[in-house]
Chains A and B, each alone.
Chain A
Amino acid sequence: AQSVTQPDIHITVSEGASLELRCNYSYGATPYLFWYVQSPGQGLQLLLKYFSGDTLVQGIKGFEAEFKRSQSSFNLRKPSVHWSDAAEYFCAVGAESGGSNYKLTFGKGTLLTVNP
């Protein structure tokens, strides 16, 4: 079964600093990987996705993520954080195979606090 681990429950960074949020997945085949962001009281918004090809993917709001198969990781990065980036971030993994395995599995999330 697929699983996702986000090792950091809560991260605090200063505005303008760089950011890296960690995501490790467990899945036997080639995974589909996603990062979502959730602001308080809101639904989840897709930041970026990886299916195949270039292992460095660009997303919205200046975020990028790198797929590293050897490390089973899909870490999210941003070179300079803005106060509006304060939110909760979720990594998710989906299955490549067909049949009835249409599920996405989410990590428990990382809460990002941005200090002025």
Chain B
Amino acid sequence: DAGITQSPRHKVTETGTPVTLRCHQTENHRYMYWYRQDPGHGLRLIHYSYGVKDTDKGEVSDGYSVSRSKTEDFLLTLESATSSQTSVYFCAIRQSQTSPLHFGNGTRLTVT
């Protein structure tokens, strides 16, 4: 899938614990994105990055933070997980502003 690896693929965690999801790319693309997918809501953008150390919020960024210290890695952190953050999380990369997104296979997160 376009050189994108998400880890872990599945995770179960308890309410109140911090969680970090990792997205690793081998394509050297500038743009990276985190989306969450929930039934009836489609994909909603959490955060995105347009370069190393350059990030911005999406439409559902509350409770999430991101970091991008090098081109190939984009980390998504749930500072204190809540049950409403149970979801499937997709990372995507994009070569340029006129390129389509290429998606990873997703991380299924369950917060109990």
**B1, B45, B100, B103, most chain A CB atoms within 10 A:** B100
Give Cα A94–Cα B1 distance, bound, in whole angstroms.
21
Asked if B60 is at the interface (CB within 8 A of a chain A CB), the reply is no
Please name all residues of chain B whose beta carbon is closer than 8 Å to the beta carbon of A102 when the two chains form the complex.
Answer: 31, 48, 50, 94, 97
Known A51-B98, A98-B97, A102-B48: A43·B43 in contact at CB below 8 Å:
no
Q: Is A44 located at the chain interface by the 8 A CB criterion? A: yes
A contact residues vs B (CB 8 Å cutoff): 32, 34, 36, 42-46, 49, 51, 90, 92, 94-95, 98, 100, 102-109
Instruction: Write the nearest CB–CB distance from B68 to chain A, whole angstroms.
Output: 13
CA of A107 to CA of B100 in the docked complex: distance in angstroms? Answer: 15
Chain A nearest Cβ from B57, distance in angstroms: 10
Cβ–Cβ < 8 Å partners of B101 in chain A: 34, 44, 46, 92, 104
From residue 96 to 111 of chain B, which have CB atoms closer than 8 A to chain A?
97-98, 100-106
Closest residue to A109 on the B side, CB-wise? Answer: B42
A92 and B42 CA atoms in complex are apart in Å by: 11
